[in-house]
Amino acid sequence: MDQEQRILLTQATPGMVLARPVRLPNKVTLCPSGATLDDALILRLMNRGIKRVMVLGTSVPQLARVGVEETMRAVRERFSRVRDQPLMSLLEKLVEDKLVRRS
């Protein structure tokens, strides 16, 4: 039995096979399970507002979980050039606060 993986539609590549049907919020089916994705179908799904799909297999690598400290370091590095701008400094603080609350 093939494994299913939920991926962002932006990670989908032609040739992937849908593990489950793609449905709109009103339950209308856009694509049946077993459909093979191609560029045109991926674009149509994006245009319909679909964000995620279930595909067969595990061809999309799982991202390693990083710790809060490492994430905070990356945030500080990204904001280092714009820290002198008041709005960007405020945005950096908001991002850091959100990260701390999530952990």
pLDDT in tens, 12-61: 999 999 999 999 999 999 999 999 999 999 999 999 999 999 999 866 66
Instruction: Look up residue 99 and give its two tokens.
Output: 């990260």
Model pLDDT, residue 63: 62
Task: Give the percent of the chain with pLDDT over 70.
Answer: 90
CA distance 42 to 51: 10
